[in-house]
Amino acid sequence: MEFTIYNNKFEKEILTMIYDFFDFHAGLVSSKDELTNEARLKEIINEWISENHELYLIKIGKEIIGFCHLWYKGEIVCWVEDLYIIPEERGKGYGSYSLKLAENIVRSKPGYQAISLDVSIRNQTAIDLYFKNGYDSISLITLRKEFYENKRDKTVNFLEHEFFY
């Protein structure tokens, strides 16, 4: 398995994977999928290859099985902003290995001391993957205020408060 820096030769495959990635996350809270047109997906790719971003294809031989989007938001911490493995290749260790490759890339950059990521609280499989790979420190918490119907129907007590998720 290897990481290959994205180039537009692989745009069709990546567009499909990005759509699937966001569709999965929208489904975690029964949300309407917002990524219905190809133009918006192409804008996302352009964001992910702009300054301070790196988009890698995750490949086994010539087959693309996923992607990893890194975002250098500051001078000492990089975010694994998006990590995706196609469903038929999950559970085979590719997510763990992809994290190791991402960590090695970030370690090779002068001054970087840590790698962070965000994960949906409803994505238990991803939480388990990240924890298993040493992501065991909480640094930031994203709090969200819904302007319309809150489709989050579960609650969790955390730091003396009850939150919907």
Residue 57 CA, distance from chain mean position:
13
What is the C-alpha to C-alpha distance for residues 52 and 49, in angstroms, rounded to an integer? 8
Q: What is the CATH number assigned to the segment(s) 2-139? A: 3.40.630.30
Give residue 36's pLDDT: 64
Give residue 141's pLDDT: 87
Query: In terms of Cα–Cα distance, which of 45, 53, 50 is closest to 21?
Result: 45
What is the C-alpha to C-alpha distance for residues 104 and 127, in angstroms, rounded to an integer? 21
pTM of the model: 0.89
Per-residue tens of pLDDT for the chain, all 165 residues:
999 999 999 999 999 999 999 989 888 877 665 566 889 999 999 999 999 999 999 999 999 999 999 999 989 999 999 999 999 999 999 999 999 999 999 999 999 999 999 999 899 999 999 999 999 999 888 888 989 888 888 899 999 999 998
